[in-house]
Amino acid sequence: MSQRRVAITGLGLVSPYGGDLDDYFARLCAGESAVRHLLTDDLPRPLSIPFVSCPAFDPEAVLGKPLASMMDRFAQLGMAAAFAAWDNAGLPRTTDGEARTTWGCAWGTALGGTLAYEKGYRELWQKGRERLSPLAVILGMNNAANAHISIQLGLGGVSMSHTVACASSAIAIGEAFRRVRSGEATVMVTGGSDVPQAYGVARAWEALRVMAPGDAESSPRACRPFSADRRGLVLGEGGAALVLEDWAHAEARGASILGEIVGYGTSCDHSHLVRPEAAGQVRALRDTLADAGLTADDIDYINAHGTATSEGDPVEVAALKQVFGERAAQLPVSATKSMHGHLLGAAGAIEAITTVLALREQRIPPTAHLESLDPACTGVEHITHSRAQPLRAALSNSFAFGGSNAVLAFRAVPA
């Protein structure tokens, strides 16, 4: 079966910076952190952590009250991002019946509707109620986002939900890419959304001892990937979506092509649930290059997974050095989680969008707050201040608990 080129024709965000793509990328390049101090006092025990939120997002304003009421916040974020990407692609909100059968959705979420479930548990156990809302199941189910996206956009093809921890949306994008490249799909909406601010979720992550501490003053600098003084990751909420389209179909309708996705590789470390292993990441990186028909010399930028954990950062750098060899020392690498936080199931999608924008703008965003490099993370070129340079192709890394690794390859197209 011949392989088709896959165009990226739409990008959409619900981010702490808002939804404007140009503004989002400019603020990343300026090193502007969206991390804030989250203090809640309406919970069983006060929660005080650095967090990234989307306070300006009004789901009813974007989706309308009836639709918004049928969704948990993670699905609201996902639907809003998908709408934005769809409109950015210049596609109609409804399609004819024949086209719908080859148009689909692949979505990633690590947590699904945890806010809905937590609300239900509180009503049962704290308030003593005997009945829950009849919407409880459909609000909480992990495939709620892709189901709503498919219904609202009239997508009658495949509808897939991927839950693979922090690699969820990267894998969703990769699987959507494969569907379009093989000819099984013409158009795919793909990405991810997550909301990890449920009290139980935050406490669970706190118990892992991988979350950075912070207060109102220090929180904006709390996430410092690759830094000698890093103290852990910062969780965040958000949604990010891409429209992937058969290149010939996009050209035929006169679409603006924002970038090209050219490769995808995935692997499992098969060694430990939470401790990453370089060998597995190396396989994913090499498989992606082979899938894309690229060599290590073709890659001009890596958007790193870079969570700012003592276990993860050095392993990722070690994997890059194994794959890129002598060239690694001149390989530009940055971790934008330092600014937009770790969106869990949406992380791969927001970082894929960041990588596409970097190629389009021919500019690399930085790893913010990296002032003292961890000696265990040397050997690649860490970008600490944004810079313009020619960029031909780039990789976006997503490495998850469970040892699941996913890497996406993108190529620049003329603006």
Domain ranges of the chain: 7-259, 263-411
CA atoms of 70 and 296, how far apart (whole Å): 46
DSSP code string of 77-113: HHHHHHHHHHHHTT--SS--HHHHTTEEEEEE-SS-S
The residue to which tokens 């989680």 are assigned: 337
Tell me the pLDDT band of 43, cut-offs 50, 70 and 90. Answer: low
Q: How confident is the model at residue 47 (pLDDT cuts 50, 70, 90)?
A: confident
- Write down the catalytic residue from 342, 369, 377, 382: 342
Instruction: Give the dihedral of Cα atoms 81, 218, 400, 261; nearest 10 deg.
Output: 40
> Residue 95 has what pLDDT?
60
Any catalytic annotation for residue 268?
no
1 pLDDT higher than 60? no
Which residue blocks in 154-277 are alpha helix, DSSP H? 168-182, 199-207, 247-252
**Residue scoring higher pLDDT (84 or 275):** 84
pLDDT, one tens digit per residue, over 50-91 is 999 998 999 999 999 999 999 999 999 999 999 999 999 999
User: At 310, is the pLDDT very low, low, confident or very high (cuts 50, 70, 90)?
Assistant: very high
Determine the pLDDT at residue 41.
60
Residue 415: pLDDT band (50, 70, 90) is confident
Q: Which residues of 180-214 are buried (b: 16+ CB within 10 A; e: fewer)?
A: bbeeebbbbbbbbbbbbbbbebbeebeeeebbbeb
80-83 contacts at long range (C-beta below 8 A, 24 or more positions apart):
80/12, 80/14, 80/19, 80/239, 81/12, 81/13, 81/14, 81/19, 81/191, 81/193, 81/239, 81/240, 81/241, 82/12, 82/149, 82/152, 82/153, 82/189, 82/191, 82/239, 82/241, 83/12, 83/152
Q: Residue 316 burial (CB < 10 Å; 0-12/13-18/19+)?
A: buried
What is the separation of C-alpha 325 from the centre of its chain, rounded to a whole number of angstroms? 27
Residue 334 pairs in a beta bridge with: 303
The pLDDT of residue 96 is 66
More confident residue, 363 or 46: 363
- Cα–Cα distance, 387 to 385 (Å, whole number): 6
Q: Is 385 labeled as catalytic in the residue annotation?
A: no
- Asked if 81 and 2 count as a contact pair (C-beta separation under 8 A), the reply is no
CA dihedral (392, 398, 404, 406) in degrees, to 10, reads -20
Which CATH class name applies to 7-259?
alpha beta
User: Phi and psi for 327 in degrees, rounded to 5?
Assistant: -70, -15
Mean predicted confidence (pLDDT) in 125-136:
80
Judge if 7-259 and 263-411 fold alike in CATH terms. yes
Report residue 415 as tokens. Answer: 């603006």
Average pLDDT over residues 267-281: 93
Summarize the confidence of residues 243-270 as an average pLDDT. 97
CB atoms within 10 A of CB 243: 29
Query: Which residue in 29, 54, 105, 166 is the catalytic one?
Result: 166
Contacts of 347 (CB under 8 A, 6+ apart): 166, 169, 170, 192, 305, 337, 398
Rounded distance between C-alpha atoms, residue 120 and residue 343, angstroms: 24
- Tell me, yes or no, if the pTM score tops 0.85: yes
Distance of CA 82 to the CA centre of its chain: 13
- For the question of residue 166 being annotated catalytic, the response is yes
DSSP 192: E
Is the confidence at residue 152, as pLDDT, over 60?
yes
Q: What integer best gives the mean pLDDT of the chain?
A: 93
Q: Does pLDDT of 383 surpass 80?
A: yes
Annotated active-site residue in 148, 162, 305, 382? 305
| The domain defined by 263-411 carries CATH number 3.40.47.10 | yes
Is residue 15 within 8 A of residue 32, CB to CB? The reply is: no
pLDDT of residue 40: 67
